[in-house]
Amino acid sequence: MLNLFRLRSMSTNVNLCFRNVVRNLQYVQGQSPNPKIREYFYYIDHQGQLFLDDTKIKNFTSCFKEKDFLVFFFKRLKVNTTGRYVDEFPFISLCGREHNYVRCNDTPIVYTHIIQNPSSATDLLSFGGAGDKLTVKFEPENLCMLPQTGRVYHPASEQYGSIGLIKSALAIELSKSFEFASGDESQPPSHFTWKGHRYDLTNVLFDVVRDRKFVVHEE
C-alpha cells in the first residue's frame, strides 16, 4: 500500500535528478579513488534506456541491451548515500568493487510496457529494458498524469525513490482511457478505465510530481 508521507520524504532525493547538474563535472570512467573501488558513471533517459554518461550520441544503438546485465544493474540500484557525487548522480548501483553512479532525465525507473495476463486480473509493468525479468504489479488506480507535461507516473519500489515514469509511447496509449472530472484538463485525470473496469484514481503521486523539472543532457 502506498504511504504518502514516505513518498513525499523520498521525493527530496528523487528531485535531485531534475537539476541541471552537468556543471563541468570531471571524472574518468573506471577511476579508482582508492585501490578497492572503481567508479563508473551512467545516465538513464526518459525512455528508460541506460547509457554510459559520457556517451556522445545517446540512442537505441548505444544503450545497454544485454538483459542479464540490466537485471544485475537495476536490482542493485538505489539512492546514492555514499557522500560522493550525490548532487550530480543521485542514484548508485553497487556491483562488488564497482560503484556505478547514475543520473536520470526524470526517474531511474521507466516502465516500458505492460505484460498482460489473460488468466488473471493482475498485470505487470516491465522496466529496465529486461522484459519479464524486471516487473512490478500494475496498479491502474495509482496512475498519475501531470497535466503540465502530459507525463504519466506509477509507483515504484522505495529503493528507486518510490516513483517511476511511464514511457512516452505507453503513456500515450494509456492516456486515451483517462477521464477528467468536469472536463477540467488543467487538473490530473480523475478516472481511468482498464480492461472494462473504471477506476477512481487516487492521484497519491501528484504532490510528488507536480513541481518536477527535467534534466537537459549537456554534451
Asked if the structure places residue 136 within a domain, the reply is: yes
Asked if the structure places residue 70 within a domain, the reply is: yes
Out of 82, 104, 126, pick the residue that ends a domain: 104
CA–CA distances in Å: residue 3 to residues 10, 31, 142, 163: 11, 39, 12, 12
**Judgement on whether residues 58 and 142 belong to the same structural domain of the protein:** no
Model confidence at 26, pLDDT cuts 50, 70, 90, reads confident
Enter the C-alpha cell of residue 123.
Answer: 498485470
Asked if the structure places residue 216 within a domain, the reply is: no
DSSP string, 132-171: GGSEEE--GGG-EE-TTT--EEEE--GGGTSEEEEPHHHH
Out of 104, 132, 153, pick the residue that ends a domain: 104
Asked if the structure places residue 219 within a domain, the reply is: no
Contact 202, 154 (CB under 8 A): no
**Judgement on whether residues 128 and 70 belong to the same structural domain of the protein:** no
Asked if the structure places residue 181 within a domain, the reply is: yes
Total of domains in the chain: 2
Over residues 154-190, the pLDDT tens digits come to 999 999 989 999 999 999 999 999 999 878 888 899 9
Asked if the structure places residue 202 within a domain, the reply is: yes
Segments forming the whole domain that contains residue 142: 110-209
**Judgement on whether residues 14 and 89 belong to the same structural domain of the protein:** yes
Its pTM stands at 0.84
**Judgement on whether residues 189 and 123 belong to the same structural domain of the protein:** yes
Asked if the structure places residue 218 within a domain, the reply is: no
What is the pLDDT averaged over residues 29-46?
A: 95
**Judgement on whether residues 9 and 97 belong to the same structural domain of the protein:** yes
Residue 102 has phi, psi (to 5 degrees) of -135, 135
pLDDT of residue 13: 43
**Judgement on whether residues 144 and 175 belong to the same structural domain of the protein:** yes
**Judgement on whether residues 114 and 203 belong to the same structural domain of the protein:** yes
Out of 79, 104, 129, pick the residue that ends a domain: 104
**Judgement on whether residues 9 and 95 belong to the same structural domain of the protein:** yes
Enter the C-alpha cell of residue 124.
Answer: 505487470
Asked if the structure places residue 215 within a domain, the reply is: no
CATH number at 74 reads: 3.10.540
pLDDT of residue 118: 72
pLDDT of residue 1: 39
**Judgement on whether residues 69 and 133 belong to the same structural domain of the protein:** no
